[in-house]
A and B are shown apart, each in its own frame.
Chain A
């Protein structure tokens, strides 16, 4: 897998420059370097935070609630799905499962960071993981391949992204009080329109067809039998299961796999 290959190359890269294996570095200087290095990513994150703030406004969240959600969940697509859920029902279980599914990619991200950060103290590694986002994960791994040993970089770059995300959320939410419940302008469809755009960008090619079809079928059935919230969960699971089965078919079918 690309993430694992990447982390392996990263680990090999650091060895070749002479870092003692298993000795992790984590310094304030590294944190500062990360803070600065992620600055070019901050405007983009700020804009997405802004969008989320506006959408949260449309979903009826207060400014405090929007900021709390951004700080606690800290994942754009997961928060978007949570908002869509929240508009139709306030049931906890479907929102919780949706967030777990969408953030499952962080399981892979964290795994890819293990070779670099495995030697850190728990009090250094896990706070760094809290602030981990898509952008700074990719940035940090790229820098690591170029020889960056200091894992403080991961925390620093994450903090920059986090601050931009929260600032954007607050700005978007406070700047959009006027659009609460303005259905005539079509603003109630902002979330699904944004999701349509994200679906197009998530589409990687013909190979995705089967899992997309499974997701649509699952969503249609579940939406009618249960609710829109459960339709998201069912679609995610159906898509993931289909992709998983197909990845096994593409190679040799592994015996006795789940």
Chain B
């Protein structure tokens, strides 16, 4: 498998979106400044988006996914290392799926 025209179209659109963000603030600062409201909104996005990814996955999943997510979050809290946290969560899911059959 290499790629498809549709994938290239998507990537092209994402590239434009991504670069626009990088260029826009620099460009706009010629004319405006950013209010605390805008900054607060932008800074809240990372957490909100991560939750937006997690919540549907957790809702669609079962006990294995929930236990994995809980342990991943706990491991992150304790170790502060996101790779360790990811592997811990995945290990729990693998273990529980094996138990389940």
Chain A residues with a Cβ under 8 A of chain B: 1, 3-4, 47, 51, 60, 62, 64-65, 68-69, 72-75, 77-78, 80-82, 84, 90, 92, 95-96, 98-114, 117-118, 125-126, 129-130, 132, 183-187, 189-204, 208, 211-212, 214-216, 218-220, 223, 228, 231-244, 246-248, 251, 254, 257
* Contact across chains for B23 and A243 when beta carbons are under 8 A apart: no
Residues 53-101 of B at the A interface (beta carbon under 8 Å): 53-61, 64-65, 68-69, 72-73, 75-77, 80, 82-83, 85-95, 97-98
Decide yes or no: A132 and B22 within 8 Å by CB, A68-B11, A186-B91 being known contacts. Answer: yes
* Contact across chains for A73 and B18 when beta carbons are under 8 A apart: yes
Residue of A whose beta carbon sits closest to that of B79: A197
Number of A-B contacts (CB under 8 A): 300
Q: List 7 A-B contacts (CB under 8 A).
A: A101-B45, A107-B21, A190-B86, A193-B90, A199-B51, A208-B47, A247-B36
9 A-B pairs besides A111-B29, A112-B25, A197-B82 with CB distance below 8 A are: A108-B42, A111-B26, A185-B90, A192-B54, A192-B57, A193-B85, A194-B85, A201-B80, A239-B48
Q: Which of A64, A68, A112, A196 neighbours the largest number of chain B CB atoms within 10 Å of its CB? A: A196
CB distance from B15 to the nearest CB of A (A): 4
Chain B residues with a Cβ under 8 A of chain A: 1-3, 6-15, 17-30, 33-61, 64-65, 68-69, 72-73, 75-77, 80, 82-83, 85-95, 97-98
* Contact across chains for B90 and A103 when beta carbons are under 8 A apart: no
CB distance from A243 to the nearest CB of B (A): 3
Selected from B2, B29, B53, the residue in CB contact (under 8 A) with A118 is B29
Tell me which residues across on chain B come within 8 A of A240, comparing CB atoms. Answer: 41-42, 44-45, 48
Decide yes or no: A72 and B46 within 8 Å by CB, A81-B53, A190-B86, A193-B69 being known contacts. Answer: no
The answer for the CA separation of A35 and B86 in the assembled complex, in Å, is: 31
Residue of B whose beta carbon sits closest to that of A84: B53
* Contact across chains for B18 and A187 when beta carbons are under 8 A apart: no
Tell me which residues across on chain A come within 8 A of B53, comparing CB atoms. Answer: 80-81, 84, 191-192, 195, 228, 232
